[in-house]
């Protein structure tokens, strides 16, 4: 597992930076010291909401991951973001500012996952410019994903489903109906009904 972890970290850093061998080796060593690896099953909860210092930076090697927040008043789950495999999963507001983490993080496929605690990730960010750059890139991507989600949820329900499924074909193949509905801002019943309408319309052509 130790060699697997180091290999994944090295490959990720190589994909982001053109680093001299000695600098790459140093970064791999620093990250590996505080990184852990685990094997997760499909739909396993990686993380629940909570204080920032209990959060972790996640990296799924083998499968897709998504996040959602749970509305305690209504009992409903609301999907917030989707990550493909080999993408860094973190919430910069919690990592950098210490904001409360409202999101639950869940595997959509089984596989190995790497993670680093927020306190350790913050130390790496503050000491290593390459890690700080990665966090900045992720902050930009998260903002872009959030804005895209806001625009999507303002579209009519039918158009929303069609657009979402066109943009996320792999996710829609993997996730169950409840999870897909949560990312569309719809109940499972409404999503199922509208899907039948869409499929019926396709068959009529």
Q: What is the pLDDT of residues 28-79, one digit of tens each?
A: 999 999 999 999 999 999 999 999 999 999 999 999 999 999 998 888 999 9
| Helix %, strand %, coil % of the chain (to 5) | 55, 20, 25
Give me the residue spans of the domains in the chain.
2-154
> pLDDT at residue 127 above 90?
yes
Q: How far is CA 96 from the centre of its chain?
A: 18
Q: Rounded to 10 degrees, what is the CA torsion of 164, 81, 87, 147?
A: 80
**What is the sign, positive or negative, of the torsion defined by CA atoms of 14, 17, 22, 27?**
negative
- Return the CATH number of 2-154, one of 2.60.40.1180, 3.50.50.60, 2.60.120.10, 2.40.128.20: 2.60.120.10
Judge whether residue 204 has pLDDT over 70. Answer: no
Which residues neighbour 113 within 8 Å (Cβ) at sequence distance 6 or greater? 37, 38, 39, 40, 46, 58, 59, 60, 61, 107
Mean confidence (pLDDT) of the chain: 95
Q: By percentage, how much of the chain surpasses pLDDT 90?
A: 91
pLDDT of residue 1: 81
Whether the predicted model's global pTM rises above the 0.75 cut: yes
């Amino acid at each position: 597992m130790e060699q697997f972890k180091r290999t994944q970290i090295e490959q990720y850093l190589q994909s982001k930076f053109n680093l001299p061998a000695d600098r790459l080796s140093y970064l791999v060593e620093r990250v590996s010291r505080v990184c852990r690896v685990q094997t997760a099953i499909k739909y396993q909860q990686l993380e629940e909401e909570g204080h920032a210092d209990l959060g972790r930076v996640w990296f799924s090697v083998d499968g897709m991951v998504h996040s959602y927040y749970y509305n305690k008043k209504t009992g409903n789950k609301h999907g917030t973001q989707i990550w493909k495999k080999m993408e860094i999963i973190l919430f910069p507001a919690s990592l950098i500012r210490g904001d409360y983490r409202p999101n639950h993080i869940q595997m959509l496929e089984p596989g190995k996952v790497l993670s680093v605690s927020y306190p350790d990730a913050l130390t790496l960010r503050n000491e290593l410019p390459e890690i700080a750059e990665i966090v900045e890139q992720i902050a930009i991507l998260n903002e872009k994903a959030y804005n895209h989600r806001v625009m999507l949820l303002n579209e009519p329900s039918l158009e929303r489903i069609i657009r979402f499924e066109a943009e996320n074909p792999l996710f829609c193949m993997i996730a169950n109906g409840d999870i897909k509905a949560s990312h569309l801002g719809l109940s499972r019943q409404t999503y199922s009904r509208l899907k039948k309408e869409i499929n019926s319309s396709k068959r009529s052509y």
